[in-house]
Chain A
């Protein structure tokens, strides 16, 4: 299945979003590996210090990706205020 990943903060240098193909039965942390493959190896450190989220909440790395999930965001370390 295809998932759109929205990009924020330090990920903006790669664009505003990217689509990746996720095998059925994947868990959230599997998307990190696929995202590094899609963005390139220089994204590895940032991807692995980030978490995925929907527009409602953060996703746990070990939770399963459900079929109705079509869009997530990758959330790098935050610096608001």
Chain B
């Protein structure tokens, strides 16, 4: 993997390896940084009024990794080259409360970390090739409708 020293991105099979927030924090830890932000996405027990018992994540891994890097590089362009960013998205099935994504961002000052962390999760939700299938208590399951990708955006 050609991650550089400021960016780490990956996709993990979460049925085998759980996402680990402390690894994310360790990666972004830097003596010159006074701020670190952590975002964890987890499986919620309901969606649109329907009780959910689990979610499966499908990922186009090669494209997702390229896309995560692109998003991290955009954040570094916006908020400065001294930032560190760690992103791991899960693929596979998770039960309620399971962690599907971790993002950690550190920077010398807090504003950049907060803003960049928010940017990275919002962009991943809108642009990255990841799909969620919800499994309902009644035994039914459905792909979440999602965001269509615009041609030039």
Binding site for B on A (CB under 8 A): 6, 8-10, 12, 49-51, 53-58, 60-61, 73, 75-81
Contact = CB atoms under 8 A, between A and B. Distances in A.
B58 A81 contact: no
Contact of B131 (A10, A49, A54, A56): A10
Interface string B81-95: 000000001000000
Given A8-B129, A8-B131, A61-B151, A77 B145 contact: yes
Contacts of B133: 9
Interface of B: 41, 57-60, 62-64, 66, 89, 100-101, 121, 124-133, 143-149, 151-152
B93 to A, nearest CB: 14
B129 A53 contact: yes
Nearest to B125: A81
Contacts of B145: 77, 79
Contacts of B60: 6, 8, 53, 55, 73, 75
A35 to B, nearest CB: 16
30 contacts: A8-B58, A9-B146, A12-B58, A49-B148, A50-B148, A51-B149, A53-B63, A53-B129, A55-B62, A55-B63, A57-B66, A73-B129, A75-B63, A75-B129, A77-B148, A78-B146, A79-B125, A79-B132, A79-B143, A79-B145, A79-B146, A79-B147, A80-B124, A80-B132, A81-B41, A81-B100, A81-B121, A81-B124, A81-B125, A81-B130
Contact of A77 (B100, B149, B151): B149
For the complex of A and B, the 3 pairs showing the least CB-CB separation, nearest first, are A80-B130, A9-B131, A77-B146
A75 B146 CA distance: 11
